[in-house]
Structure formats: C-alpha cells, structure tokens
Structure 1
Amino acid sequence: MGSISVNTENTAAPGVPFYTPAQNPPAGTPLNKDSVPTLFQPIKIRSLELHNRVVVAPMCQYSADDGHLTDYHLVHLGQLALHGTGLIIVEATAVEPRGRISPQDSGLWQDSQIAPLKRVVDFVHSQGSKIGIQIAHAGRKASTLAPWIGGTANKTLAEEDVGGWPNDVVGPSAIPFDETNALPKELTKAEIKGLVQKFAETAQRAVKAGVDMIEVHGAHGYLICSFLSPLSNQRTDEYGGSFENRSRFAREVVEAVRAVIPADMPLSLRLSATEWMEWAGQPSWTVEETIKLAKVIPSWGVDILDVSSGANNYQQRFPDNRLFQIDIAREIRKALRADGIDLIVGAVGNITDAQTAYDVVQEGPEAAGELALVARQFLREPEWVLRVAHELKVPVKWANQYSRAGPRTDFSKKF
C-alpha cells in the first residue's frame, strides 16, 4: 500500500535576493477561471503576462532622496503587490535633475538610483506581481513644492533655498504654466536631442533594475505634453507649428526608448487626450488630435495607450461628468478598432468601485480599454482589488500570510 506524499516545504519565491514564501498563484488570481469577468482574466502584452487587468497608475509621492527611492516606496508599492494588483507602475521618474516636478521626486538619471529601484522591483516580483516605471520630464511645471507644502504656504514654486531650480526650468517655448510657476527657458534643438538621449539612458537603467514594462509620460502638462499643444508650443522650427512638428519630440523619445529596451518588453505612452481648452476658441490639443496620434504610435513601437487628460493649462474646464475620462478612452478605442488597430488602451479616472472597474474592461464593443488604471483609490484602500473581487463574487487567491482572514461574510460580528 503506497504512502501519501505531503510537501511540507514553505517554498521560497524564486529570483529574489531574500526569503519570502512563494505566492503561487499570485494574490488577485481567480480560484475558478470559468466565467470570470474580463477584469480578472489574464492578459499578455509582448512577453508580459498579467494575472488580472488592474493596474496601479503612477502616483507622485514626493518622498525620494535626491531622486533615489527609499524604504517608503518599498512599503507603499509593496503593499499593493501583496494585495493582488496585476501591474504596478512606479511614479513619474525624472530623466535629469531639472526634470523633476519637486526636489523630492523620483529620478533615474544616474546609476546610483538603480539599486533602490531594484529593491522595490524584487519585492513586487516576490509577490507574483509585475512592475513598470513611468519615465518623465516635468518641463515648465518643474521646481515646485510638494502639494501639501504648497497648499499650506499658498505657494507653488520651489526656490533654491529648498532645493529648487527656478532659474533652470525649460520648455518648448518661454511660456509659463501660470503666474506661480517659473518662466521656462526655450530649449534649443541641441538640448532637445540631448533630452531624447536622456530618456533612452533612463530606460536602460530601468531595464537593469528589472522592470517589466516602461511608460513614457506624455501627459499632464509636462515636457512632452507641452510640446504637443499649440498653446504651450509656439516654436517656428521643426518642433513647432504643424501636428507632425509638435509630435516630433514625442516620436523621437518613444523611438529612442524602444530602440534600447528588450524587443519583448511592452512600451506604454500616457497622453492627455485633451487639454480641455476648446472653449477658448484657439487651437489646442484635442481628442481628435489624440486619435490621429494614437493611430500612428504603434509604428513607433508603442503597445499601450494610457488615456488621461488635462493639466496643460490652468484655465481648463472639465465637464460635469464623473467618468468623462473613461468616456474619452472608449471613444479613442472605438476609433482605433474601426481602423483595425489593436493598440491596447488603458482607461483611468475615478475608477473607485467594483461596477465601474467591471464596465471599463468587460470584453465587448463598449469597453473603454483592456486595462483599468487606478490611482487614488489605492491610497484609500490598498486591498481594493480583493474588495472588488468580493463584490463581483469572484473568489480570488489571497497572499498566503493573509489567507486565514479572507473576505468577511458576516458583518454583524466584530471579527
């Protein structure tokens, strides 16, 4: 009579330089994969496979030390991997010191910044989740204070005495974002070429740190975004004027990044789909121009379009509709599919509840995208993925160490 073999080893997570139990499958994976909503179905993008469609959108934390991530970031991002997210994107990470939004922003312009990023990457991987990074240049919105400081002091600009660089802020044209921001210096063509190279070098460092994907930040009024808009870009050379000229810097950056990262690594581009300035009666960046750009970026090597909006002009006027940004993502996706373009769309903006998350990615013609990017809701509820699964009646794996708790079913009891 044969004996029953029981594996009593607490198997270690592979490929990380420390011991932690392997999460197999990762938290947030459905236990029964039959008839689960699209939100909890896997997706493969080049070589990257996500176990669900929930993505942690980049969120500035103003907590880096001369661009270096710290233990704060390990805890902040690590808890989100522990609670089941499919992909985490590290906050906007500057390609040069003057490209930071604030003196405490994340950076990857020098090799010493690789190791602290890798520490975060290793932990996320140990939980079975994937991690990307958003590389960025703040442009004319650089050298500002962390929002809780600026709000308290009724001030935006970070002066030199607090580590700022108000006299070395740059942009496509010498047009400030508003009266509280620095007056930017117009970039020369040589400086533009240098910045393209810095984006590429930053991407190479991110690859060395072990990230699974890279996103280029072309939204929210930062440098690439400000080149796209005719309101902030009034150049008369080959980087200004026509749609093709205004999008030239974005193309050069994306193509330079694509050229230095692995061929099987996904590349994402975040755009502000409109700057919400149509009301002013002047040429501005619009959804129509975003659709035009979206149709060509696959030829640049982009796999994911991350659809955001606004923040390039302080006079912007948002619509009175909580899900306006998701509606734009849906419009862009429909236009792409109508032309047979399978560019993956990420929808973001006020995804705070289970039903909205479900609707955003549920397979079908009305889907707003293939990925649901969530930001501030994770600051409220790090375990949001698990709660959404519970509300959608999708049993999912919990982290081994937390599995004895599981979702509460009887709320009349204290514990």
Structure 2
Amino acid sequence: MDQVRIDNTKEYPYLFSPLKVGKYLIKNRVIALPVHTGFAHKDGRVSSWMINFYAGLANSGPGMVIVANAAVSQDGQVSEFNLRADRDEFIPGLGKLAKAIKQKGALACLQLNHAGRFARTAHPLLPSPITSSNLSFNVESLKGFMAFFPFEQRFSLTKNFFNQVKTWRYAMTDEDRQRVINDFAAAAFRAYQAGFDMVEFHGANGYLLCQYLSPFTNRTESGSGCDFKSRTAFSLEIIRAAKKKLPKDFPMG
C-alpha cells in the first residue's frame, strides 16, 4: 500500500524548523509528550522495554522526547511500576534511557513528579485536607466518566474512590514541604548526571504541584482558596532549589 504524505508546511511553516532552547538547538518543533507507561521495573528501575519504547518514539522524528512521570520520592509514586529518580542507584538506568533517545536524534527530557494525594501510600501528602464535604466535582462530568466502564465495575470504582478520599486528611507540614523541595532538586540533578538535556516539573493532572496551584486543593485554615502568590510559592521554591544544584544553562520547565 502506498504511503500518503500530508504536507502541512504551508499551514504551519515553522513546524519542522529548528528552535533554540538555551544552549540546545531542537531540530523541529514536534515534541513527544509525556504519557505514563508503567514500563519500569517494579522497583522503579528503567527496563529494556522502556528503553525500546522511548527509542522508538525518538526514531519517529520528534525534536524532543519527554520521558514521563519519574517519581522524586518513594512516597510519591503513581503506580506499581513507576519510574523513579529518588536515589543515585537509578542514575545508570536513566543514563541508558537518555542515551537511547539521543542516539535517535532527539533531545531527552525527564519529567519529574510527586503524585501527592494520588500516591500509592497510606498517608499521601496534600497542601490542605480534603474531605467529602469540601470535595469539588461536577456531577454530569462524573456520570460521563463512569459511562466508559461496564455497569458491574462502577460500584467498585466509586467505593475505591471514597476509600482514597479517607486518606486525604493530613496537610503537609513545613518539614514535609522542605523534604519534597529537596527531593525535586536532587532528582533534577540526577537527571542531569544521567545525561538528560533538560527536566520538566509535572504541574498538572491533579498531582502534588497541581494541588498547590489550585484554590480547590490549596486552602486557608478558614476553608477558602489561597491567593495566587501563596499557591505558586511551593513550585517556585522547587525551581530555586533545583537552580542551585544545576548548571546555569540547564533548561527546566
């Protein structure tokens, strides 16, 4: 079967042109975005399956590949097979992964994350306690989500969700916050040591940094949402701490 090539260069004239980011020249503006795979070993090490997967992505032609969801703390993992960057023992595997991506002509970026309330731990970390009484959700949106699952699974999903809500009762202490700030900075330095060209701090999808940024999950003692300056303070502290450890020309996002 003949391949059909779609030429979008007229509509998007800069799509395949190089882009300068710090000291790097990205060959085009196509980025392989971070999508959690669960391809790591159970102990968080890089697996050959993960290396082959990301090398394949890089070989498809993007200017940069972002490796998804490396946990910065043992208590910040999203899944059972979560990639980890919280100890030096993970650097060799991360190095092999970065090398495999770069050998295919793409820049390698490592996304760093702490899952916060969604972490696989009995006592997840949160900016503020969340209970069923102050949990904000859209009923119609929830119905639409549940419709994707077979009817017999919906009750267990609801039960599991509210069992998870029961663990969202404890706000992070100053000591917890400082530890996680240090964990992010240390993980960023490990990414640099492993040969990644840049790092991305995961601030979306309801994970810890996102929880700090949202007025629904970062509240004052009176229950109202914190102001913008207060909500961004934690992320900015992480960036400052990482900058102290990394070369000045090492990009972060």
Within-5 A mapping of 1:247-258: 247-258=232-243
Other-structure match for 1:173: 128
SS class of match (2:112): strand
Q: Tell me how far apart the structure 2 counterparts of residues 218 and 186 of structure 1 sit (CA, whole Å).
A: 19
Other-structure match for 2:110: 133
Other-structure match for 2:62: 85
Q: Tell me how far apart the structure 1 counterparts of residues 98 and 183 of structure 2 sit (CA, whole Å).
A: 22
Q: Tell me how far apart the structure 2 counterparts of residues 63 and 181 of structure 1 sit (CA, whole Å).
A: 24
Letter in structure 1 aligned against 2:127: P
Matched residues, percent identical?
31
TM superposition outliers: structure 1 runs of 4+ over 3 Å: none
C-alpha contact (below 8 Å) 1:94/1:109 kept by paired residues: yes
Other-structure match for 1:223: 208
Q: Tell me how far apart the structure 2 counterparts of residues 75 and 235 of structure 1 sit (CA, whole Å).
A: 46
Letter in structure 2 aligned against 1:168: H
Alignment deviations for residues 70-90 of structure 1 (CA, whole Å, 9 cap, x no partner): 111111100111121110001
C-alpha contact (below 8 Å) 1:172/1:235 kept by paired residues: no
Alignment deviations for residues 29-78 of structure 1 (CA, whole Å, 9 cap, x no partner): xxxx9xx8201000011112110101111111112221111111111100
Other-structure match for 2:28: 52
Within-5 A mapping of 1:188-199: 188-199=173-184
Q: Tell me how far apart the structure 1 counterparts of residues 217 and 112 of structure 2 sit (CA, whole Å).
A: 21
Q: Tell me how far apart the structure 1 counterparts of residues 177 and 220 of structure 2 sit (CA, whole Å).
A: 13
SS class of match (2:37): coil
SS class of match (1:132): strand
Q: Tell me how far apart the structure 1 counterparts of residues 172 and 27 of structure 2 sit (CA, whole Å).
A: 42
Larger radius of gyration: 1
Within-5 A mapping of 1:102-113: 102-113=79-90
Other-structure match for 1:232: 217
How many equivalent residue pairs?
A: 212
SS class of match (1:170): coil
Question: Is residue 2:236 matched to residue 1:260?
Answer: no
C-alpha contact (below 8 Å) 1:48/1:266 kept by paired residues: no
Question: Relative to total residues, which structure has the larger helix share, 1 or 2?
Answer: 2
Q: Tell me how far apart the structure 2 counterparts of residues 96 and 77 of structure 1 sit (CA, whole Å).
A: 23
Other-structure match for 2:48: 71
Shift in Å at residue 248 of structure 1? Answer: 0.8
Other-structure match for 1:37: 13
Uncovered stretches (5+) of structure 2, i.e. residues with no partner? 1-8, 136-160
SS class of match (1:208): helix
Letter in structure 2 aligned against 1:222: Y
TM-score by length of 2: 0.78
Alignment deviations for residues 161-183 of structure 1 (CA, whole Å, 9 cap, x no partner): xxxx2x12111112167525252
Q: Tell me how far apart the structure 2 counterparts of residues 73 and 180 of structure 1 sit (CA, whole Å).
A: 32
Letter in structure 1 aligned against 2:188: A
Letter in structure 1 aligned against 2:56: Q
SS class of match (1:218): coil
SS class of match (1:98): helix
Structure 2 CA distance for partners of 1:58 and 1:180, relative to 1, 3 Å? farther
> What is the RMSD computed on CA atoms of the aligned residues?
2.2
Q: Tell me how far apart the structure 2 counterparts of residues 216 and 85 of structure 1 sit (CA, whole Å).
A: 20
SS class of match (2:109): strand
